[in-house]
Structure 1
Amino acid sequence: MKNINDSLSSLSKRIVTSPTIKLTSKVKSLLECGEDVISLGTGEPSFEVPSEVKDELVRALRRNETGYTEVEGTENLRLSISKKFKRDYSISYDTDQIIVSNGSKQVVYNALLALIDPGDEVVVPVPYWGSYPEMVKLVGGEPKYVYCDADLDFSLSSESLKKVISPKTKCILLNFPNNPSGSLLSKETVTALTEILNEYPRIILISDEIYQDIHFAEERPCSIASQSPELYSRTLTVSGVSKSYSMAGFRIGYAGGPKSLIKAMVKLQGHTTANPCSLSQAASIAALNECDEFILRNNEIYKKRLNNFLSAVKPAKGLKCIKPRGAFYVFISCRELIGAKTQQGNIIKDDIDFSMYLLDCFRLAVVPGSAFGVKNHFRVSMSISDSLLVEAASRLVKACSRLEK
């Protein structure tokens, strides 16, 4: 019998494993061996699920809400999402313009599956979340990268966007507040982007705004679909409960957008996973309706952690930190340390080498920038306790001081 690997599809061989999953797996192995590892790699909030959510989850179980629901999510949850979009994003979506899926990743994938034909191009700003290019490939599309300037805090410029748009461009996949950089789109930037997009009325926008609630400025980040009727008519606004409400394991993502696109996504979801977990949906209603204070309180904690961390790593040799304006990450340049030698005599050739050096020698886990399309950077997550974050900063400073250049 031939090896099963010979039977695997060419597509499955083209797709790369998520670098964050690889890192998590190695960190887990070290922890199981009793190693004192501090992980700054996770994209999962450290806060407990709100008590209102826990209580509603139990009540839903006692009400025996354990059967199938509508494929697109329950009417009550979609109504709560509609109110959330209107209240916080200033976008009006009726319930038949909303879909609920098994996490925001499935929402984005469903949208690409509904929109992209083989050979279509999808513009992906860099840095990007690692799954975006792979999802584009999975549906037969071609990712087309537009590089955001680090000197502009990784914001997307209209000039850069226009250069990569071609007759094959079908979609632009945006993620602001951005993972990993924490960059936001200002109203001025969106206005400039709108002028460019008006020249290309066929292009659809998928705006992944999963970190929309997590920001460090007084003004809420700009939600693209709220800026003009023209953008509203061709934008899918994606969000979920994983980040804002610390409900990563509940696997509830959602989106609002054009009715025809939502209908196509529902049809596709009906033949794959069908509805999301009924109990998770019930719990998410409580989150959306009752937990605004939870978000505000946690934003203050993130802000404090961020300021303390940036102060603590300031003495680190060869690092350059851009202060994020949203999400809960810091994207750090280690470019000046490339070519440095470790005490073991190894040369740091790139961000992956630097990340492995931190893990192997200082038991500090970060995500290399290459996972997000940007070399010689690494991502740090603020989703650990204050004390661990201080210790992590100390290890980072020490690690940099031990390198010879």
Structure 2
Amino acid sequence: MSALLQPETRAFQPAARIGSIGVSEILKITAKAGALKRAGRPMIILGAGEPDFDTPDNVKEAAIRAIRAGATKYTALDGTPELKEAVRRKFERENGLRFAQDEVTCGAGAKQILYNAFMATLSAGDEVVIPTPYWTSYSDIVAIAGGKPVLVPCGPENGFRLRPEQLEAAVTPRTRWLLLNSPSNPSGAAYDADQLKALADVVRRHAQVWVMSDDMYEHILYDGLAFATFAGVAPDLADRTLTVNGVSKAYAMTGWRIGYGGGPADLIKAMAVVQSQATSCPSSVSQAAAVEALDGPQGVVAERRDAFRRRRDLVVAGLNAVPGIDCPVPQGAFYTFASCAGLLGSRTPDGRVIATDRDFTDYLLEADVAVVPGSCFGLEPFFRISYATSETELSTALARIAGACERLHRD
């Protein structure tokens, strides 16, 4: 065939909506560290947000019973009636929230609940206010849905929490959602009832603003702090609030992929449309397991929270003993979000300057410790440690971090 008749070939071009979005930086760091570990390095990976505990036995047994009973077919689109009833009982029992069954949705993880909600409600240019630091997927999902993330820096001076005056300044006529995460990934910050009520006062003044409350770390809260959720402290705003949760963290069920949400029926119906064209129903077996997690014995949740608290105290003390690192005490979740500002400008033994938090975390990787730079979460110069691993590994990692920092020097 003549060259003139050859079909034109082009390099692959992604859709514009994902052109500037990549795979999670956390996953990239974890993958790189994992490759080094497989190559023989004694790597300690403190990047992933996944409990090291196993799924409770009663939950696993419920899944086995479901398999043996033949519960392996498609289910209702956004959750079996049994799971929705378990979610309804959970919301009422633990949060004082009452939902009808058509006000509850279940999906393949809480991430899908968030994705469904944004896809179902955002038009091009609609804005979502996101307090920063934030879980990395929030802004990307908003962007994929055609929205505009409005990132509001919330530093350690206010405990990494959004203040009412910051929210007021961020709201515009295009604001569609305020996204709250308490306790927070990555900072571990939590809002108490009074702090949420102050934000609710702002929301009341702006009828176009809805609130998405990501409560995934609800059960991992320390020092006697009582959990509060937005719809619970502002019931008059329930008709524009979506409360999101899941079984991944509290019950160590990350791989089972079950999340759920409660909100106005019209919103839930619109979210079901999105899910119907994406995944359809979540796994039938996982749904049966989630019913047992929510309805079954809850003692394991408190036991594991106590273990996380001990690990938190170990990591906070270890980091604060390192000159140049300042680590606030997180109120919940299983992360520390420490500042490395005091180390910026120093040089590594081979002369490289630590100019950013990413430089610092790259340097720690050379010391066989993988952590995540704060820039991934929208706030510098910090780094996140996930302490969802054994105290032995955490102690070793802290010793390596301290040793690496001792080897830094200033001109």
Give the alignment's TM-score, normalised by structure 1: 0.98
Contact 2:344 2:354 in 1 (8 A): yes
The gaps in structure 2 that reach 5 residues or longer are: 1-6
CA contact (8 A) 1:178 1:326 kept: yes
Shift of 1:294: 1.1
Instruction: Tell me if the contact between 1:213 and 1:220 (Cα under 8 Å) persists in the aligned partners.
Output: no
Determine the structure 1 residue equivalent to 2:386: 381
Q: 1:156·1:185 contact (CA, 8 Å) conserved in 2?
A: no
Structure 1 runs of 4+ aligned residues shifted over 6 Å read none
- Which whole-Å deviations, capped at 9, do the CAs of 1:270-320 have from their partners, x for residues lacking one? 111000000000011111111411110001001111112222233211000
Q: Does 1:392 align with 2:397?
A: yes
| Distance in 1 separating the partners of 2:171 and 2:134 | 17
Give the CA RMSD over aligned residues: 1.2
Amino acid at match of 1:390: S
Distance 1:377 1:112 in 2: 29
Separation in structure 2 between the aligned mates of residue 128 and residue 4 of structure 1, nearest angstrom: 37
Query: Which protein is bigger by CA-based radius of gyration?
Result: 2
What does residue range 2-401 of structure 1 map to in structure 2 within 5 Å?
Answer: 5-360=11-366, 362-401=367-406
1:153 positional shift: 1.2
1:206-248 CA deviation, whole Å, 9 max, x = no partner? 1111111111031332111111222222110001011010000
Deviation at 1:4? 5.5
CA distance in 2: counterparts of 1:126 and 1:328, whole angstroms: 18
Percentage of matched positions with identical amino acids: 38
| CA deviation string 1:147-205 (max 9, x = no partner) | 11311110110011111111111111111111000001111211111111111012111
Letter aligned with residue 222 of structure 1: A
The residue type equivalent to 1:374 in the other structure is L
Asked if 1 retains the 8 angstrom alpha-carbon contact of 2:91 and 2:98, the reply is yes
Letter in 2 for 1:393: L
In 2: Cα distance, 1:191 partner to 1:285 partner: 32
Counterparts of 1:404 and 1:92 in 2: how far apart (Å)?
Answer: 58
Kindly state the Cα deviation for residue 102 of structure 1 after the two structures are TM-superposed: 0.6
Q: TM-score, normalised by structure 2?
A: 0.96
Amino acid at match of 1:94: A
Aligned length: 404
Q: Secondary structure of 2:347's match?
A: coil
Distance between the aligned counterparts of 2:9 and 2:232, measured in 1? 53
Alignment gaps of 5+ in structure 1:
none
